[in-house]
Amino acid sequence: MHIGKRKGKTTPVTEHTRSEITEILRRVRKIELRTRGLVRESFGGEYHSCFKGEGIDFEDFREYQPGDEVRAIDWNVTARMGHPFVKKFTEEREMTVFVCVDISASGNYGSHGPSKRELMAEVAALLTFSALQNKDKVGLLLFTDEVELYLPPKKGIGHALRLIREILLFEPEGHRTSLAAPVDLLKNAVRKRSLVFLLSDFLFEDDLASELRIVNRKHDLVAIQVSDPAELTIPSVGRVRLEDPETGRQVEVNTSNPRVRRAYQKEAEAWQEGIDSEFKRLGIDKISLRTNEEYLPALHGFFKRRERTEVA
């Protein structure tokens, strides 16, 4: 695991690498401008309403006003002053937020423009800037079948831009997906209760129900599944060779056969229903995003549902 740094030696800066750096900065800047604009317009307020800090701090006394809670009256001060005074509190809102992103090989796929990883980077940026506007600290955890990079929670625009850059460009050592390592870190190493956003396509074979339940009890866990429509249906394009990007295993498929396409779709739908029902059974909030769809409606819907739940 890399803790806040990369392994490897420094490479000389050539004209080619300068061009790559320019393109990287352009992509990061584009995501920053879009997501910071969205935070200013709506998401900052929605985030503030949905996710609460832990407790309140006493600030001062003030005179009782009609509508104040009678339970808030401080009877000692009231007796000294001769008329009612209430305690004034301020909410301790600052939270620690972790953005945990799956950067396994399957995330590089995208049949309709952005790859799953690119979409995860933009959504992670939106959540990060919302958290920073709320004066929360944000940490990053990148994982495959191991924890690839861990950046401790911090504040500041420079830290946020680094998070975006790492999500987009970090080159992992692993290719497969497993939640075991990140779940273990969140369960045992992150001691303070935190808000955890877990972004992945959830293409893994782990049975981690009990561990995820523990993480959800210790922290406030929100799962964000990013998928591509081509993973759920296959077009009729004749014989093709499909490859699993995480294992390299290949299989030849005759997509012209309608029975093959129906069987594939049925299996994919059953898998998705299993994922959805498992998170529901565990009581973990889940958001579903697609690379071919605008992600804002799904996030708005989640924030509204979450706010109603908090009020209730």
Q: CA nearest 114: which of 31, 2, 187, 198? A: 31
Instruction: Tell which of 72, 91, 110 closes a domain.
Output: 91
pTM of the prediction? 0.79
User: Residues 111-140: pLDDT tens digits?
Assistant: 877 899 999 999 999 999 999 988 899 999
Residues 77 and 219 in one domain: no
Domain co-membership, 86 together with 211: no
Quick one: 292 and 263 in the same domain? yes
> Does 16 reside within a domain?
no
State the Cα–Cα distance between residues 239 and 290, nearest whole angstrom. Answer: 26
Q: Which residues contact 256 (CB under 8 A, 6 or more apart)?
A: 236, 237, 238, 239
Is residue 12 one of the residues assigned to a domain?
no
220 and 82 share one domain: no
In the structure, what pLDDT confidence band is assigned to residue 20 with cuts at 50, 70 and 90? low
Q: Look at residue 9 and tell me whether its pLDDT is greater than 60.
A: no
Residues 178-236 pLDDT 10s:
999 999 999 988 988 999 999 999 988 778 788 888 999 999 999 999 999 888 888 88
Domain presence at residue 276: yes
Strands 56-63 and 85-91, bridge-based pairing: antiparallel
Domain that holds residue 61: 56-91
Contacts of 302 (CB under 8 A, 6+ apart): 222, 285, 287
Which of 42, 72, 91 marks a domain boundary?
91
pLDDT of residue 11: 41
Same domain, 65 and 212: no
| Same-domain status, 193 and 259 | yes
Assigned domain for 17 exists: no
What pLDDT does 3 receive? 62
Residue 90 φ then ψ, to 5°:
-120, 140
Residues 86 and 98 occupy one common structural domain: no
76, part of any domain: yes
Are 43 and 85 members of one domain? no
Q: Which of 42, 68, 91 finishes a domain? A: 91
Q: Specify whether 175 is located in the same domain as 243.
A: yes
Tokens of 287: 């958001």
Whether residue 123 sits in one domain with residue 45: yes
Residues 173 and 67 in one domain: no
- The domain total for the chain is 2
